[in-house]
Amino acid sequence: MLRILLLERKGSHATALQKLFKAISQPARIVAASTLAQARQSLDQESVEVILSDLRLADGMGTELITMAGEPLAVPVVILLTAPDALMTVEVMRAGAMDVVVKGEETLRELPLTVTRALRGWHHITRRRAAEKALEQNEIKYRSLFESMRSAVAVYQPVEDGRDFLLVDFNKAAERLNRIGKESVLGRRVTEVFPGVREFGLLDVLRRVHQTGRAERYPLTTYKDHHLEYWVENHVYRLPGGEVVAVHDDLTNGKIAERILNDKATQFQSVLDNAPVIIYIKDMQGKFRFVNRLFEAQAQRSREEILGKSGAESLPDALARQQELQEARMIASQETVESEHSWTLNDDMHTTLLLTFPLQDSDGQMQGICGIAKDISERKRIEAQISQLNATLEERVRERTAQLNHSLESLRRTQRQLVESEKMASLGNLVAGVAHEINTPLGVSYTAASYLQDLLREHMNATHGTAPLETVCDQRLTAINNAVEILMKNLNRAAHLVQSFKQVAVDRCVTQRRRIHLRSFITEVLSSLRPKLDESAHRLCFACPEETEATVYPGAIAQIITNLVSNSLLHAFELKPHGTIWITVIPTDRQIHIKYRDNGRGMTAEQVHQIFEPFFTTRRGQGGAGLGMHIVYNLVTQTLGGDIFCHSAPDRGIDFSILFPT
């Protein structure tokens, strides 16, 4: 139902109008009013679709309804004039009336048509208004969007058939990027505002897009002129109106940051690649995020095979296990952990010293794990070798020391013996020399004394019993004879001694050096001593391997055995009726060892020390000259070229070891 407000100053055509609408089958409700106030009141109560109003009313003009409270009314208003008035019509239309109708019979009849037309016109107007409003709002929206865009936007109008371009719009970001105000660029040529645009390459892009209409992306390039330099990426496209738009994304800061980051990353990688240690970084999921060259070498895998994988997926099992255990410890303690790992790869034993620590961000939050390891396999191998060497070295040093001690001891002994034999030899020479010198006067004295004795004997025989006076003479002669006898006896003894003395200096020519059968030779020597042994109850045991032979001075051997046996009988068994002597011959590779032992009274340490010295005897004045052992010593050391050792203790018998080369 169409609602119409009909506002008439005088009279009302409401009913007539209702009928007219009915006639065209358009149901309509006519609200009649005669003043503006009434009209407003009824409009407050009920809205209408169209208003028909006289221009002049009692309380104002019908056109006043066109705007209500300053806002244009939302319904069309058709003004009814009483008489045609062109000027008024123009005025009314300008005021916003939808139509102007001059009241007359015919026009009134056509009112439904007028209303319909007004409604249609109104409909168009409201649509246009809405579109305009939307357009206006869009314009505001897009302008603000345009201005607040982070990308710089410049709109160009092609001129000279697209050879150059005028700047027709320029947003805030573009002002900022180019450090120039919009007002100073608008209407100017791009080549003028941006002198570097040709080199930059954008001019060609603008021309191409203008010609083809195809949008283009102009990749990141550096723009440069005398006062500007920046990195931008451009998107260029053509607007339907033919303008060309260039959107520049300023990537200068990003680019620099990226370049710095890239440089840093490259430097970082090359520093770590050249570090003499194995380095890796893992994320919190335990995946490798970085490995250096030594790490690749250790794992025998390439970086690409390792990154993004866990240790278990990219490393030898044993190594991965140990590494992960250590990392777990480090994560638990949040502190640096260091330990040694050993594993085998391709039959080679590897050892590394691994240090792991948490990688933290600036807030101290753990972001990952860093491991730094040093391959110490070589060091370990060397250490093992050294310790092995040390172990054997100690052993070797011990052996060597023992050998040296032994050599030193034998050197000392040799030295002692040398000194000893030197002493003995010189003493012997002295004795022999003295003996030689004494021998002649002694011989002369002995001859003279025996001649004197003979003379005396003759004289005594001739004068025996001749006169009484002779008795006294006899007595004197007897005394002289006694004296001569004493003289003879002592000269005899002296001669005997001198004989011994002479023996001291060994005379090698006494016997010939020859090869003898030791067992039979010594048995023979011993049998010559039998008479002496048989007188006593002593025993002698002799042992010698049957086939033992040696090239020696047999005389020396005989003399040695004789002297030793004599000493045992005389000294050792002095107070012992049942003594035993053992003589054992032990032939070895290149020497003969004669062991001589008795179980007699033995000697004190001091006596042992002196035994080989000439004139050492414990039987001085009882027939002992103390030369027997000295002679033995000289025979062994000089004639046989060997050694003699004596061991003894009181009551423990005596023990000689005689060693000489064969």
Q: How far is the CB of 627 from Mg ion (least distance, A)?
A: 7
Instruction: Output the CA–CA distances (angstroms, integers) from residue 488 to 69, 434, 621, in the order listed.
Output: 192, 21, 19
- 503 near Mg ion, rule: CB under 5 A: no
Q: Provide the β-strand partners of residue 280.
A: 291, 371
Residue 185 touches which of ligand ATP, Mg ion, none (Cβ within 5-8 Å per kind): none
Distance separating alpha carbons of residues 54 and 25, to the nearest angstrom: 26
Radius of gyration of the chain (CA): 76
Closer by beta carbon to ligand ATP, 286 or else 628: 628
Which residue is closest to ligand ATP by CB?
628
Window of 212-220, 377-385, 416-424, 563-571 that interacts with Mg ion by CB under 5 A: 563-571
Hunting for tokens 């003996």 — which residue is that?
435
DSSP label of 189:
B
The answer to whether residues 325 and 341 touch, using CB atoms and an 8 Å cutoff, is no
| Region 526-585 residues binding ligand ATP, contact defined as CB under 6 A | 567-568, 570-572
Piece of 72-80, 227-235, 280-288, 599-607 that binds ligand ATP (CB under 6 A) = 599-607
Length of the chain: 662
**Residue 384: Cβ within 10 Å count:** 11
Strands 591-598 and 654-661: antiparallel
Kind and range of the H or E element at 24?
none
Count of residues in contact with Mg ion, rule CB under 5 A: 2
Interacting positions 578-637 with Mg ion (CB under 5 A): 628
Which CB atom, from 105 or from 535, has the smaller least distance to Mg ion?
535
Q: What is the contact mask toward ligand ATP in residues 602 to 631, using x (rule: CB under 6 A)? A: -x-------x----xxxx----xxxxxxx-
Q: How far out from the chain centre does Cα 571 lie? A: 81
Contact 50, 118 (CB under 8 A): yes
| Three-class DSSP category at 9 | coil
- Asked if 481 and 460 count as a contact pair (C-beta separation under 8 A), the reply is yes
Residue 448 C-beta: closest distance to Mg ion, Å? 32
Closest distance between Mg ion and the C-beta of residue 420, in Å? 19
The count of chain residues that interact with ligand ATP, using the rule CB under 6 A, is: 22
Q: Which residue lies nearer to ligand ATP by CB, 101 or 611?
A: 611
CB 52 within 8 A of CB 9: no
Under DSSP, is residue 59 helix (H, G, I), strand (E, B) or coil?
Answer: coil
Q: How far is the CB of 533 from ligand ATP (least distance, A)?
A: 14
318 binds, among Mg ion, ligand ATP, none (CB under 5 to 8 A by kind): none
Distance from C-alpha of 54 to C-alpha of 81, rounded to nearest angstrom? 6
For ligand ATP, give the closer residue by CB, 441 or 623. 623
Residue 567 as a binder of Mg ion (CB under 5 A): the answer is yes
**Is residue 261 classed as helix, strand or coil in its secondary structure?**
helix
Q: Which does 571 bind (CB under 5 to 8 A by kind): Mg ion, ligand ATP, none?
A: ligand ATP
Using CB distances below 5 to 8 A depending on partner kind, what does residue 322 bind out of Mg ion, ligand ATP, none? none
Q: Decide if residue 644 touches ligand ATP (CB under 6 A).
A: no
Binding site for ligand ATP (CB under 6 A): 567-568, 570-572, 598, 600-601, 603, 611, 616-619, 624-630, 654
Binding site for Mg ion (CB under 5 A): 567, 628
